[in-house]
Chains A and B, each alone.
Chain A
Amino acid sequence: MSARARANENDSGSGKVRASDDPRTAAGNGGTPPRAAGGVMSDSRADAGGGRIRMPLAPEDGGGLPTAGEGGGGLLSAGEAAGGLISTGEAPEGLAGAPGGVARRAGPRHGELFNFSIHYGLILLLVAEIVFFRLYGPTGAVFLSHANLVALFGSQAVVCIVALAALVPLTAGYIDLSPGAITGMASITSATAVARFHVPVLVAILLGVAIGTLLGTVNGFLIARFEFSSIVTTLGVSIALSGVMLWYTGGSTIGSNIPQSLVNFGSLNWLGIPRVMFVMVPVILICWFLLENTPFGRYLQATASNPRSARLVGLNVRRNVFSAFMLSGFLAGVAGVLLTARSGAADSTTGPSYLFPALAAVFLGATTIHPGRPNTWGTVIGIFFVAFGVSGLSLMGASAWASDVFNGIILIVAAGMAIVFARRRGGGPRLF
């Protein structure tokens, strides 16, 4: 069920609840009421949704089944209980204008250290990880060597941009399973253009990016215009594209005749920095700016939070979701061209294989910086947390399979910690 469908369902569910108080209470008489002893008031009725587990696409409150936070059986649930942690200022006072009506702002409910660690925990772990592999005997000598860092950063550029491509629609609450396949299509398109049709490199790059954008537009059209489920649509697109790629390449690699300039861009350094970083870093910055510092980014966050409210505060939800998928396709297109440059070739399987690591980084990143919300810097940190870990493990002599095991376990541990912290805070992140 798409987030929009959820909104419509919500819509039909409204209009049932009636006013509850009786305002005949209005006629206040002049008696002197008992005064409070200036106690502090806890807003225990607040429905903080604490501990509420909600994936972006999970049915919400549907079918009468209780979610973890709502509890069945008429008993008060832990989720509601968590709402009691939030306190407000003082007893009811006059409103606006009246000096007494100003809410007293409560201080941080937990220590600074606690707040710091839930926001920056993954960064601290990343630093700890780097320190460990630097000091640990068998890896220490090479771990932070220039050669290892160049290899590490160079190898992460493509998956990082694929992750950002998945991040953009997820910011609006729509999961996108197609960036891997679109990356593959863009890679094959650009490789074919230069290798078989001998077009100039710049044109090939533009073609790769254009095919990515076009495919993102198709996703956006189906999901925003026709309100198809994003998970089903992008899964279908992804599978179909894999088939198309297999048909076109016949399972072989398009590797000959790739111009040296493109291959050099993928494999060489400028100023000791991998050239692909000169694409990756600006893409990260642009994503961050768009998603965190523009109305567009705010609107996507609002859409993820409550699509129905988003419409009613005047947001063009449809257009924003469409734009998000188009941008996702564009980014996957960039990643595809970079993939061709990086590997000096293109095949039907490499692009799609980036999907899981990319999504894992997005979800891992959602545990940090803005816990509970997928975000750009978190995603980047997620990518490099895994990359440094895998690099260290392989320097220790671990087999290739160890990296996947590491990646998977870290994801589960980080998401689990995010849930625990969120329950302690009394406000649940919406993603886990």
Chain B
Amino acid sequence: MSHGTNASHSTPPSSPRSAVALGVSAVSKTYPGTRALQGVSLSVMPGELHALIGGNGSGKSTLVKLLAGVEHADPGGTFAVGGQEIDAARMTPAAARAMGMRFVHQDAGVFPDLSIAENLALGRAYETGAIGRVRWKKLNARARKELEGVGLDCNPADLLGSLGAARQTLVAIARALADLADHSERVLILDEPTAALPSHEASALLETLARLTATGLAVVLITHRLDEVVGVADRVSVLRDGQMIASVDGRGLTEEQLIEYIVGRPLGAVFPEMPEPSGGRAALTVENLTAGPLRDVSLTVRRGEVVGIAGLLGTGRTTLLRAIYGDLTPSSGRVLAGDRELSGHGPPEAIAAGIGYVPEDRKREAIFGDLSVQANLLLASTPEFWRPYGMAARQEKSEAQALVTRFGIKAPGTANPISALSGGNQQKAVLARWLRRHPALLLLDEPTQGVDIGARADIYRIIRAAVEQGTAVLMVASDLDELARVCDRVLVLRRGRIVTEVQPPDLDHEHLTHLAYQG
């Protein structure tokens, strides 16, 4: 269901106000020092799947927080749900709820250790009998009905943790919708529900959402996965720098158009030009490595070369990087950094041999969230700044400033905690941490995960610039298209073994997908 045609700015509702399920009108939000939203307007029709997209920091999440009432807009704007209108500055969580809005956050707020029925019941009260006993039978029957509403066929008594991530999100949606049935206007707002899902699960989730809209439910989907927007959303609104850039019909929209809206510039190439493989000396040689799921893996990465590892989850991709880095000790096999054999006992040895590792889980394994940007950049190089009189504070500061500039890290200051930066800027800082040491080999695990499109382009350029300086890169990515475009060649890992190597001109998305999923 779509309304209106392409417009360069948000369209005022063409139908009477009461026809709009969710209306946002001239809403601004100013934080100290920055305007997060400037006069944003948005109309979502009943039964519409409305995608709200934008890069990191575009104001998507701010808008959600304002709608949810957890933060307050600047005076002047209004929110309307159905016929009810409210001053945007006075929105509260209770009002949002009463008006018929429900929110499902990225983390979904579900409890894997509790049963599905309990997860659903947490949204309201448990049904209790005499002396407060929980009436499990009634609870489960009700849960089953709610699950059917979102197309889930599972036993409410099972632990939520036994479901996959996509179905857990569906349970969260079922919970959000459970007490919404008697509202005249129903608006479901999902903040990045698919961010952590593999693409086939994400598309199943989106199909369910599309089905739900048939009942008149308005769905606002906040996402940065453009592929899921195209072809699914009835309407797409694009935020950039806190302004509503466009609100366009979802039909016939292409990803390229969306990228230009989001980034505000033609990308030319998000992926840099691929230079000729250099055929230099080996930076890394792995011989007959066996560790965890890996069986007898051998590979070589030469100086100035980007080698990709393609494979499904659980094939040992991350294990391979960790074994090379010495984070886990292989049961057999050899790892040579240049000519130097590594014993596999701890990262310090690998670091000394010029290896840097960018782990997949940035928050848990790479950054020090509450330490400053400076500390995060320089921690791996601490001895370099150690003088007889103590740490060379001034040099550290100027080096951190220089790195922030050189790698285009957008930070309010190097003394601020790194957790204040967006995911993309955190990732640039993690890369800068290693690249300032001119590593011989960089191990990258999902280097652009959770990073918006603009920062992704930066990260590819950073990697390519390092490669031109002679750094070798071994890179794991789930996104096979990313591998095909960034890597000089790709090794396909299947059930712990390297089954084949793909080089240009065969190096493309379809071919890799075929190889990785086959067998």
Contacts and interface: CB of A to CB of B under 8 A. Distances in A.
Interface of A: 10-11, 13-49, 63-66, 70-78, 80-81, 83-98, 101-103, 105-107, 109-110, 289, 293-295, 298-299, 301-302, 305-306, 308-316, 372, 426-430
Given A33-B264, A85-B31, A109 B367 contact: no
B424 to A, nearest CB: 9
A89 B412 CA distance: 7
Interface in B147-183: 165, 172, 175-176
B264 A84 contact: no
Nearest to A111: B32
7 contacts: A18-B198, A21-B451, A23-B271, A23-B456, A46-B420, A46-B423, A74-B109
Contacts of B470: none
Contacts of A22: 199, 225-227, 255, 479, 481
Interface string B64-78: 110010110000000
Contacts of B462: 95-96
Contact of B68 (A13, A48, A76, A87): A76
B239 to A, nearest CB: 10
B420 A426 contact: yes
Given A23-B479, A33-B265, A75-B105, A96 B379 contact: no
Contacts of B12: none
B49 to A, nearest CB: 18
A211 to B, nearest CB: 31
Contacts of A106: 33-34, 412-413
A60 to B, nearest CB: 9
A68 to B, nearest CB: 13
Interface stretch (B80-88, B280-288, B299-307, B399-407): B399-407
B59 interface: yes
B488 interface: no
Given A25-B226, A49-B370, A84-B36, A64 B111 contact: yes
Sort A-B residue pairs by CB-CB distance and give the 3 closest, nearest first. A92-B454, A33-B260, A28-B267
A44 B196 contact: no
A80 B194 CA distance: 19
Contact of A312 (B61, B269, B347): B347
B511 interface: no
A308 B451 CA distance: 22
Nearest to B194: A20
Contacts of A308: 364-365
A74 B458 contact: no
A63 B112 CA distance: 8
A44 B114 CA distance: 31
Interface string B108-140: 111111100000001100000000000000000
Given A39-B35, A75-B109, A21 B224 contact: yes
Interface string B432-454: 01000000000000101111111
B260 A28 contact: yes
A98 B371 CA distance: 28
A282 to B, nearest CB: 16
A77 B71 CA distance: 10
Interface in B230-274: 240-243, 245-246, 255-261, 263-271
Contact of B263 (A72, A92, A294): A92
B410 interface: yes
A301 B368 CA distance: 9
A427 B420 contact: yes
Contacts of B269: 26, 28
A103 B411 contact: yes
Nearest to A15: B318
Given A22-B226, A25-B259, A92-B264, 16 more contacts: A21-B453, A36-B245, A40-B34, A41-B242, A43-B422, A46-B420, A74-B103, A88-B412, A91-B264, A101-B458, A299-B382, A306-B368, A309-B367, A311-B327, A311-B347, A312-B359
A95 to B, nearest CB: 4
